[in-house]
Structure 1
């Protein structure tokens, strides 16, 4: 029996193991779980909207109407499944094919293929750009301004610190200052990424239902979970750092290059496996209103058995976004070096990386690239989470009812 929580609307209470509105004497665990039963129409409402209207009872099946939840007979298919059943398509029996799925938002409510996941992310960016782009633009601008200042001043200080003429005390002070500034910049970057991820998750979850969202509404829905999302991000980051440290430090202590290389070869695939295994924890935490460790368990459960598929989609997304970023950033970087950094001579002298003109042009390119790439990466993660829940838990039924799709998941005679 399915023990998955329901689709929690942004801003609702937790739904881990208990159906909202269930009697108070119903146990949270050990008893029947509500997600295995079909909730009554209108039980789940779309974020920011009232309850969905109660659909009328399904009409009796008629010959030639099609099959499944799309208005006709269905033979041999599970309850609510849009697959299987009669040979035919909606509007005429006796022909091969499958019915079109309901699509209230950016994706059809059925298991998705890789192209549909990528298209859904792009479609959300295009349809809801007034909400998506301001979030990513602000975060990308703050991050790049800090990076520019870091590269301009801290890198110059590091160059002075490595000068043989500098005394030891000056070198230590400069390195300490540079380390503190770098750590502060990285912290602000991580904080900005967490805020952007949380708000984008809410926007994409609404887009699945065909609902729009404002920046203020996304912030209001995401804010209650920000502290937990920060804890999840720090936990995953520290976990990966600890893993790499445990596998590589013994070789460094033993001063064995072979042992270091062996530890590195072991760390990369193991870290990749863990990163994909827990890659859906962020949307699970935000949309199910769960805790840090519950979201990690949910991600592990959803990814189980489909690790390679999720890895492939994640890798392809990384390649696509990397190419997009390179197309935008590198031309502006080369132009900045050529115009303001002294060209090849500046590169050889090391002055090109600290020239204001080159840094500004490179930063502008990075801001544009991150503004485009960040929502695409977040969108793919959210849609992977939705797709896995549709495949494993029949989430499409709840989404259809939340979107007000009538007669979805009903059977004929």
Structure 2
């Protein structure tokens, strides 16, 4: 692996018909291609001299569903067994897994993924927080202006006696402002995600990053990341249109309901299936469609696990954001928006004081929440590649750990 955090060449996936450690004609070089030399299962260290090893139970045939990978442990990890990673439970006399950075180099649990995301934000705050703070501030300023003037135009357009043509123009202007603000917010989110991905990838190795360094390493992939985001968004919209529009055109409420109930699980399934495409695109320096394919392979067989971790992360960050935003929003409406009367007639939501306080809360919340969400996604990607492709061996070599994963330590 070179000095950059981009793991450009992925290892063989078990679904491709190879398993880590199998003989291969691929040369072992310094670039991030997987080594043909993989550690044998359960042979990380020998017992201390004079110490009697515990009796070994007879080997049982591998049962489906065991092991770390999606193929019942047969190929999923180079370590084999149900707990075959270095330092895992049940491995007598073995040292803990190396931890050069924010995570141990072995398959990760839920707590370790969340802790790694928070630990990176805490230890690398000089790089992480300025990025998210700038993006959140720009997004919220534009959102505040859009809400102030777009919502005012919508209020005027819906007042009794308003001219139809003027109302349509006001609605069009308001919607255009909201769409424009959303587009700028999406661009800001893409830039932040790209730079945070590079910072987290270096944090895994224990390396620090600068803002300029993260920008330099991510900018070559920004257009592709934008294309990936746009493609996923358009795909979701088209899928919803195909399933819901026929019912709307025929004015069939039952058909509309069936379309809605069908589109929600389908979009959720695709969302998780392609959730690792962004880090794959950035770290492997690949194309949009190859990144989608990589995500699909990495998620295969572990969809529910990734869904659960992603959902829990969104719930936690949503609660954190609500705790920060809602009190400031309610105080702003009560103090600057005319109290309950302003809330009832809708004027409280567009009062400058209420909007500013709400925007400050949103900036603080996004500054905290954005790096956690990005970090969990990157660490899920790393975790899946450790489980399927033995990425921890390559990471250990990149971190300068000698003889990692070989007999005798």
TM-score, normalised relative to structure 1:
0.82
Kindly indicate whether residue 179 of structure 2 is the aligned counterpart of residue 195 of structure 1.
Answer: no
Kindly indicate whether residue 65 of structure 2 is the aligned counterpart of residue 81 of structure 1.
Answer: no
Aligned counterpart, 2:346:
350
Residues in 2 aligned to 1:66 and 1:176: alpha-carbon distance in whole angstroms: 82
Please report how far the alpha carbon of residue 299 of structure 1 lies from its aligned counterpart in structure 2 after TM superposition.
Answer: 0.2
Relative to structure 1, the CA distance from residue 89 to residue 154 in structure 2 (aligned partners, 3 Å threshold; closer, same or farther) is closer
SS for the counterpart of 2:241 is helix
Relative to structure 1, the CA distance from residue 395 to residue 129 in structure 2 (aligned partners, 3 Å threshold; closer, same or farther) is same
2:275 pairs with one of 269, 274, 279: 279
1:220-239 to structure 2, matched below 5 A, reads: 220-239=216-235
Cα pair 1:80 1:408 within 8 Å, conserved: no
Counting matched residue pairs gives 372
1:52-67 to structure 2, matched below 5 A, reads: 63-64=47-48
SS for the counterpart of 2:319 is helix
SS for the counterpart of 1:99 is coil
Aligned counterpart, 1:4:
none
Relative to structure 1, the CA distance from residue 35 to residue 359 in structure 2 (aligned partners, 3 Å threshold; closer, same or farther) is farther
Cα pair 1:136 1:196 within 8 Å, conserved: yes
Kindly indicate whether residue 242 of structure 2 is the aligned counterpart of residue 246 of structure 1.
Answer: yes
Aligned counterpart, 2:215:
219
Please report how far the alpha carbon of residue 61 of structure 1 lies from its aligned counterpart in structure 2 after TM superposition.
Answer: 7.0
Aligned counterpart, 1:22:
none
Residues in 2 aligned to 1:117 and 1:242: alpha-carbon distance in whole angstroms: 33
Relative to structure 1, the CA distance from residue 330 to residue 12 in structure 2 (aligned partners, 3 Å threshold; closer, same or farther) is closer
1:265 pairs with one of 256, 261, 269: 261
Relative to structure 1, the CA distance from residue 36 to residue 132 in structure 2 (aligned partners, 3 Å threshold; closer, same or farther) is farther
Relative to structure 1, the CA distance from residue 84 to residue 369 in structure 2 (aligned partners, 3 Å threshold; closer, same or farther) is closer
Aligned counterpart, 2:69:
none
Cα pair 2:45 2:94 within 8 Å, conserved: no
SS for the counterpart of 2:133 is helix
Aligned counterpart, 1:99:
95
Relative to structure 1, the CA distance from residue 80 to residue 35 in structure 2 (aligned partners, 3 Å threshold; closer, same or farther) is closer
Please report how far the alpha carbon of residue 343 of structure 1 lies from its aligned counterpart in structure 2 after TM superposition.
Answer: 1.3
Kindly indicate whether residue 13 of structure 2 is the aligned counterpart of residue 15 of structure 1.
Answer: no
Please report how far the alpha carbon of residue 180 of structure 1 lies from its aligned counterpart in structure 2 after TM superposition.
Answer: 1.7
Residues in 1 aligned to 2:156 and 2:22: alpha-carbon distance in whole angstroms: 63
Please report how far the alpha carbon of residue 330 of structure 1 lies from its aligned counterpart in structure 2 after TM superposition.
Answer: 0.7
Relative to structure 1, the CA distance from residue 65 to residue 393 in structure 2 (aligned partners, 3 Å threshold; closer, same or farther) is farther
Aligned counterpart, 1:175:
171
TM-score, normalised relative to structure 2:
0.83
1:13-412 to structure 2, matched below 5 A, reads: 14-15=8-9, 43=31, 63-64=47-48, 81=79, 96=92, 99-412=95-408
Residues in 2 aligned to 1:342 and 1:258: alpha-carbon distance in whole angstroms: 43
- What 5-or-longer segments of structure 2 have no aligned partner? 34-43, 52-57, 60-72
Cα pair 1:251 1:260 within 8 Å, conserved: yes
Aligned counterpart, 1:51:
none
Cα pair 1:82 1:99 within 8 Å, conserved: no
Runs of 4+ in 1 over 4 A off after TM superposition: 11-14, 29-45, 60-63, 75-80, 82-86, 94-98
Relative to structure 1, the CA distance from residue 293 to residue 145 in structure 2 (aligned partners, 3 Å threshold; closer, same or farther) is same
Relative to structure 1, the CA distance from residue 135 to residue 34 in structure 2 (aligned partners, 3 Å threshold; closer, same or farther) is farther
Cα pair 2:5 2:198 within 8 Å, conserved: no
Please report how far the alpha carbon of residue 171 of structure 1 lies from its aligned counterpart in structure 2 after TM superposition.
Answer: 1.2
Residues in 2 aligned to 1:36 and 1:372: alpha-carbon distance in whole angstroms: 46
Relative to structure 1, the CA distance from residue 151 to residue 355 in structure 2 (aligned partners, 3 Å threshold; closer, same or farther) is same
Cα pair 1:229 1:292 within 8 Å, conserved: yes
- What 5-or-longer segments of structure 1 have no aligned partner? 1-6, 19-28, 46-59, 68-74
Residues in 2 aligned to 1:65 and 1:39: alpha-carbon distance in whole angstroms: 37
Relative to structure 1, the CA distance from residue 41 to residue 338 in structure 2 (aligned partners, 3 Å threshold; closer, same or farther) is same
